[in-house]
Chains A and B, each alone.
Chain A
Amino acid sequence: MRPSQILLKSGRSAWKGPYFIPFKNLRDALVNHESMKTQARGCTILPNFVGVRFSVHNGRDYIPVLVTQDMVGHKLGEFAVTKKRFTFRATKK
């Protein structure tokens, strides 16, 4: 029915295209294996991000994310967990 919606799995309008940030030193990061520090969790992973190491902000610190081919089309934030798992504290101070 709507072929563009297959490409863009989110509900975003087709004419806008995917949301992404133009990272300036992406090529340097790819060559030097440096990690790209970013807070853009909503940025869509594009095919030219493959192989780049990102450090994605989760609200407190930066989580290392190595982009692989299968991640294309997902968002960077999906790979940096924001919630801490609940555990009971063993002893009370």
Chain B
Amino acid sequence: MVHILGINLPDNQVARFALTSIYGVGHHTAHRLCARLQVHDRCKVKDLSPFQVTALASFLSSPATAPPLPRYPLAKPDYVPPPPTTPLSELQAAFQASQKIKKIKNSDPLKNLKIESELRREIRENIAHQRMIGSYVGRRHAMHLPVRGQNTQTNAKTARKLNRLDRH
């Protein structure tokens, strides 16, 4: 059993699917997370190394402030290496300059990840906003009825269960 942010991931599940038990992580995000930590597709939770578990926990606790992944691009086919006599400091300066350009280009999609209480708060705030301005969506939430024009003569059970102002 692995505990991450107070959620326990069952030992015998594949890591990619076990991660979906976190609120706000679906199949796609779980796959991206696994790719980030270099967890292979069939890896089970019990096979995760302690380093991977701690890395996962530290990433999920604050995705926005997590250090960006280092990216080392491959050489292009027309790349000509500098002559061996060039000093090391010049090479390092050129490498760091190229890294700086890359950082702006590659935005990490997982950076905006919101999970658990943060996501719940966002949903609650969105509903509260709709209610405050008095729009149709907010009214329907307050009445525990479907928001997007579904039938209400029968069914509407999900709306009755979920649509309320203090949702979580």
Contacts and interface: CB of A to CB of B under 8 A. Distances in A.
Interface of A: 1, 68, 70-71, 74, 77-79, 81
B109 A74 contact: no
Interface residues of B, number: 9
Nearest to A69: B133
B139 A74 contact: no
A81 B134 CA distance: 10
A74 B139 CA distance: 15
Interface of B: 109, 129, 132-137, 139
Contacts of A77: 136
19 contacts: A1-B109, A68-B133, A70-B129, A70-B132, A70-B133, A71-B133, A71-B135, A74-B133, A74-B135, A77-B136, A78-B135, A78-B136, A78-B137, A79-B133, A79-B134, A79-B135, A79-B136, A81-B136, A81-B139
Contacts of B137: 78
Contacts of A79: 133-136
A31 B156 CA distance: 45
Nearest to A45: B133
Given A1-B109, A70-B133, 14 more contacts: A68-B133, A70-B129, A71-B133, A71-B135, A74-B133, A74-B135, A78-B135, A78-B136, A78-B137, A79-B133, A79-B134, A79-B135, A79-B136, A81-B136
